[in-house]
Amino acid sequence: MDSDIRRSRRADWLTDDLVPVRELARTFCEKELAPNLDRWRQQHHVDRELWTKAGEVGLLCLSIPEEYGGGGGSYAHDVVLLEEQTRVGDNAGNIAVHNVVAAHYLLAHGTQEQKTAWLPRMASGEVVAAIAMTEPGTGSDLRAVRTRAVRDGDEYVINGAKTFISNGALADLVIVVARTGAGTGGSENISLVLVEAERAGFRRGRVLDKIGQNAQDTSELAFEDVRVPVTNLLGTTEGQGFQQLMRQLPRERLTIAVTAAVAIETALEHTVRYTRSRSAFGRPVFDFQNTRFRLAEVATVARVVRTFVDDCVDRHLRGELDAPTAAMAKWWTTDRAMDAIDECLQLHGGYGYMTEYPIARLWADQRVQKIYGGTNEIMKEVISRVL
């Protein structure tokens, strides 16, 4: 689909310096990701070398300053990579969690030593990062986390369990949401603690069997008397974790919305192509008025979603994306994406239900977008608080 269909005007964030980044990302995705996706789905994780290959060509930590080994770009650079990944159907190695989420927790809240120690190794792919908030007993209610980091001299002793952690099986560094003070509830005692995977007592559970995103190593993690130095606290002050999460979550939610926008466009492309080539009753399926009207509706949704997402990306780049707007983008675009992809799947008939068809994988892969990053119900809570 050409850009005239996608956009009514060129977005401010789409500057000319992104052209070579897009070319690099497209080549990488087509050469290194697309041919391996089926195999990765079978094994439930990417090859570890993917990360070092991405680091070698400069696609990791694109929006981290060069002084920390990053690409020195902006969030727009991350968006370009994400768009190209989504177009080839990739959500395997969760580069977005590494680039857009984990690296920015370190950049925004880490001490100078933490940034220098971790960001260059994350940029090279030597270190894969994950963030572990969710626990078996709590996801939406982050204030209820039970994982504890108890101070013992110059160390924290961490005990607890996390689940649904993206990059969990391959991660070398996990940013763990833990309770550092007394008490079992409330946000004031929550801190983020850096845990290296080689620490004694750190255990990975199984890679979870999911209905989609099957190449993604979403895992359970356990912490049994894991000792880390107190310098592994993200930042310098205990109890800042909740504020740190609240500051970073809008970027994560916008990133989910970007993926939703590209997923709708990709579904539309697949479906136009398929319905033109498939015949029923002696003519292409595309020629039925129902098909053309449905696709016209999806094209309209794609345009409106893209316009909203472009606006949010522009706002984020100006430092003006507030939490309720990010929440609006997250819930609304992921809801629209599921509706649109479902329509597109229907137009594929039985083939749409076969996992060898991209539309089937897109449908299954996108479903979780309404759930992770804060469920769409929680997004409406966030919005309603400012009404």
Ligand X SMILES: Cc1cc2nc3c(=O)[nH]c(=O)nc-3n(C[C@H](O)[C@H](O)[C@H](O)COP(=O)(O)OP(=O)(O)OC[C@H]3O[C@@H](n4cnc5c(N)ncnc54)[C@H](O)[C@@H]3O)c2cc1C
- Beta strands, E only, the chain: 129-132, 148-152, 155-165, 173-179, 190-196, 202-207, 219-229, 279-280, 283-284
Rounded Cα distance, 387 and 382, in Å:
10
Closer residue to ligand X (CB): 118 or 286: 118
Phi, psi of 159 (to 5 degrees): -135, 135
- The residue at minimum Cβ distance from ligand X is 139
| Element (DSSP H or E) covering residue 272 | helix 241-277
**Nearest distance, CB of residue 132 and ligand X, angstroms:** 5
- Catalytic residue status for 377: no
Closer residue to ligand X (CB): 71 or 374: 374
**Nearest distance, CB of residue 212 and ligand X, angstroms:** 8
Rg from Cα positions in the chain: 21
**Nearest distance, CB of residue 214 and ligand X, angstroms:** 10
Q: What is the DSSP letter of 286?
A: G
Closer residue to ligand X (CB): 108 or 371: 371
Q: Which of 126, 252, 265, 381 is flagged as catalytic?
A: 252
Rounded Cα distance, 88 and 104, in Å:
25
Secondary structure (DSSP) of 321-373: --HHHHHHHHHHHHHHHHHHHHHHHHTTGGGGGSTTSHHHHHHHHHHGGGTTT
Binding site for ligand X (CB under 6 A): 97, 130-134, 138-140, 164-166, 210, 213, 218, 368, 371-372, 374-375, 377-378, 381
**Nearest distance, CB of residue 242 and ligand X, angstroms:** 14
Closer residue to ligand X (CB): 140 or 355: 140
Question: Which residue numbers are catalytic?
Answer: 252
